[in-house]
Amino acid sequence: MKPLLPWIPLALTLCFASACRSAPSGPEAELLAADRAFCAATQERRLEAWIAAFDEHGSQVSHDFRPITGAEAIRAHMGSFFADPANVLWWEPDTARVSEAGNLGSTTGRFRVERRGEAGKVEVVAQGRYFDIWRRLPAEQGGTWKIFLDLGEPDVAAEPAR
């Protein structure tokens, strides 16, 4: 029988590492909550919630990496997508970072674009990762988080076998 002693340092290291990966708290938890609330509001109010989440100077990046800046440009770009009730966009953040000053932050996570067809069939049109930069408004403007830059990139399709 082999002694367990050589495995003890490894086990302790793994336990310590998992303990250090606790759930975010403070500003990071607040920013994750803001991102999740943005997704929930978009499910309910669609285009209007999408636009309301952006900073007045905020931009989203199109699939061909063109910046679309300001509420009216974002409305023109996203309007037809949200006008069709069969289109669904959802996301879930998995990380958040907030600057030391507390006025800038970022979230990353997974997104999915679905198209709901007849008889409830759901087709996944795109999925991938997103990266958002957020700006906290000054306290006199409510202190809420607003998106300054939104971009996403679909997953790379699998290469065909050769």
* Distance set, CA 143 to CA 30, 71, 136, 140 (Å): 12, 20, 6, 7
- Please report the pLDDT score of residue 11 as a whole number: 40
Structure tokens at 125: 């049109």
Please tell me the predicted confidence (pLDDT) of residue 143: 94
CA distance 155 to 153: 7
> What CATH code would you report for 24-154?
3.10.450.50
Q: Is the dihedral of CA 22, 25, 27, 32 positive or negative?
A: positive
**Residue 98 pLDDT:** 98
Stretch (H or E) spanning 27? helix 27-45
Q: What is the pLDDT of residue 13?
A: 43
pTM score of the predicted model: 0.81
Domain ranges of the chain: 24-154
What is the per-residue pLDDT for 88? 96
Q: Render each residue's pLDDT in the chain as its tens digit; 162 residues.
A: 444 444 444 343 444 444 444 567 899 999 999 999 999 999 999 999 999 999 999 999 998 999 999 999 999 999 999 999 999 999 999 999 999 999 999 999 999 999 999 888 999 999 999 999 999 999 999 999 999 999 999 998 655 555
Which residue in this structure is represented by tokens 């679909």? 154
